[in-house]
Structure 1
């Protein structure tokens, strides 16, 4: 019996620590695992007994890049329990805060983590030497995301101005207009980035599972809807019923829970690619044109295309943020940002946002004093791992059938893992 074993300890250029294990025996893939080797971080236990006011700040520490999404998700869960309806202006500021993390994440992932794969480099450092302008502009885009989060959220990570019912601080109209101009100035670079990632060669595979994303009529929502859609399954559900629709389960080789749809038993992918598939028609005009030019149209099920989808979202984010900033400067949103009055009460609520890496759910149960009696967090990466493993197996099987050797299979599997943009530290929250 001939056997090929592919082992990658601590996959490079991803957030967190994970190992790849693939075994090929007599031309058949017998083992294919994405092992998350980080220990549990126990954030769900950390918040037990804590006041609702503390929870968003604790949960934001799950992730540095996605901290804004964790804060907003917790706030939405708490507001669901208390029956709080925030103003339009508060909703606009929350969108800006979440979009700031999109700029931070997508710029880092695409140019520091993913691009070296396709340009023949083992890390970002040779890329910096070969094309310093490309990397400088990419880091400038991330810096713009940092600035947006700082001005709206009070600091670049772990925001402090977003609270239950509103915000404690807001910048002036002049700052909004300056941010809008900065967004406009970055557009040419992100449009060129879509073309750059379009030209990279990838293997043709179709993801094994479904696609999950937030949806709303006529919108490309990131934090303003309670409705999720399984694109292939063709059905929607309220985030409040997430435990009835999504099953988390453990496996022996991973420190993270995996996930599958309860109705179908299928794994699924939640990411920029899922959002583009679910809400293609609601992309901004230039983003939709850039996507079509790059060959990214629904249905698109090649997980490698998540890189292009993130580049397309950068175009979309810049257009939306510029428009939001100009409307905020012109005072076009109703209501103030000051926290609205509310009454603390017992209950259960689920917060739902689209973090940069995909759907994020926070379930909170509070007692009459507003203290947490139960908490559950479902991060995008934890939801993605089962589908990632299935796609890794499919890729390995196709490459074995085509006669590729172990080194090439290992390289392509690593590229696939990075295309998912995993945050393995977040998966063991």
Structure 2
């Protein structure tokens, strides 16, 4: 039997540029490659020799959607080196800033990138024409994320108010209350989004890799914990040990490093699906109910379910942001948000946050003058690619065994890639 070759150059509706190559012979996948073809962006070299004050602004340029996550992650690394402890109010503001990027990212991914797959469209434009109300409300969701990032971070991308030890500016109580009301008004659409993605048909594929997410007792953390969990393997570790626990390695077909757990040798997925699996009990009441109604309960290992997990997180984020805004307006958090005093010193720090697409790490070595000696960035997409390739292989073999034609296998593989919500530009950092 002749080999079946599937090649997709510059896969559509993802951030950045990547190619897919599959070869299927006698029902077995002999070649499976998710090739990131982005050129090196050299952010790690760019910050070397720079003052710590410049680094977060440079690192925010890694991504136009997750720029808030890169800033906060860098700040956490720097603060570990200098021994800075921020106030509860600053932590709350950082959560709001990250949640703004969740609204931006999930709204874009679900309705612009993913939804056309399940509605028989090749782009978002037929969706916008056929269901303008859905499209406008989706854009409104992203606009709310933009507004949240602007009010908390100073602008919608590449925030400028978040600095080492605190914030340089904060909005008024009235503005917080107005934001809380906007979050409440958007919740109905977010709940409907979970139902929408619940009704989309997907192939039953169970990833054989692990799931990695930030964890904390009785919390659904995004930037307030230093602990990670491999859900399937069942062990936790500190973000400070990330280079000992996670191995990055090169492959010939991709410009991005791939990743695997050192203890098990297994690839893994870090994403909304990992967070929901790791912290299901800490989701807001509405989000947990919506997830259960959609059939999303731990353990859930179908990577296509990441779309539903992102929709569930939209509900959770709106609930959390409304509560945070009301508490900030009422001055319920200890301390102010002004930057605390600190002394510059040498050392190594690992910043860790949950970016919208998954676990994000910034490792910084800083000298006694406050300049960076070494920097390393581990983005969610770079960590996900090895597991994505394994899932692509499993999906293609399952469909080939079921007698599906090449066009349908190609479509489902593309849908799988988009379900991972990759940012291929960020993966080469």
Deviations 1:299-321 (A, max 9, x none): 00000000000000000000000
The aligned residue for residue 163 of structure 1 is: 163
Deviations 1:329-382 (A, max 9, x none): 001001011100000000000000000000000000000001000000000000
Alignment of 1:357-396 (within 5 A): 357-396=357-396
Distance 1:397 1:119 in 2: 25
SS of residue matched to 1:136: helix
Q: Measure how far apart 1:26 and its partner are.
A: 2.4
Distance 2:281 2:28 in 1: 41
Alignment of 1:256-267 (within 5 A): 256-267=256-267
SS of residue matched to 2:21: strand
Distance 1:24 1:359 in 2: 33
Distance 2:279 2:27 in 1: 40
SS of residue matched to 2:421: coil
Alignment of 1:129-208 (within 5 A): 129-208=129-208
Q: Measure how far apart 1:27 and its partner are.
A: 2.3
The aligned residue for residue 339 of structure 1 is: 339
Q: Measure how far apart 1:28 and its partner are.
A: 1.8
Aligned length: 429
Distance 1:291 1:12 in 2: 28
Q: Measure how far apart 1:29 and its partner are.
A: 1.1
When the two chains are superposed, the root-mean-square deviation of aligned CA atoms in Å is: 0.4
Structure 2 residues without counterparts, runs of 5 or longer:
none
Deviations 1:60-107 (A, max 9, x none): 000000000000000000000000000000000000000000000000
Which runs of 4 or more aligned residues in structure 1 lie more than 4 Å from their structure 2 counterparts after TM superposition? none
SS of residue matched to 1:382: helix
What TM-score, normalized by structure 1, do the two folds share? 1.00
The aligned residue for residue 59 of structure 1 is: 59
The aligned residue for residue 104 of structure 1 is: 104
1:348 matched to 2:348? The reply is yes
The aligned residue for residue 402 of structure 2 is: 402
The aligned residue for residue 412 of structure 1 is: 412
Distance 1:233 1:245 in 2: 13
Q: Measure how far apart 1:25 and its partner are.
A: 1.6
Distance 1:91 1:28 in 2: 50
Alignment of 1:271-350 (within 5 A): 271-350=271-350
SS of residue matched to 1:189: helix
Distance 2:337 2:2 in 1: 66
Structure 1 residues without counterparts, runs of 5 or longer:
none
Deviations 1:109-151 (A, max 9, x none): 0000000000000000000011000010000000000000000
Q: Measure how far apart 1:3 and its partner are.
A: 1.1
The aligned residue for residue 428 of structure 1 is: 428
The aligned residue for residue 71 of structure 1 is: 71
SS of residue matched to 2:332: coil
Deviations 1:167-209 (A, max 9, x none): 0000000000000000000000000000000000000010120
Distance 2:108 2:377 in 1: 24
What TM-score, normalized by structure 2, do the two folds share? 1.00
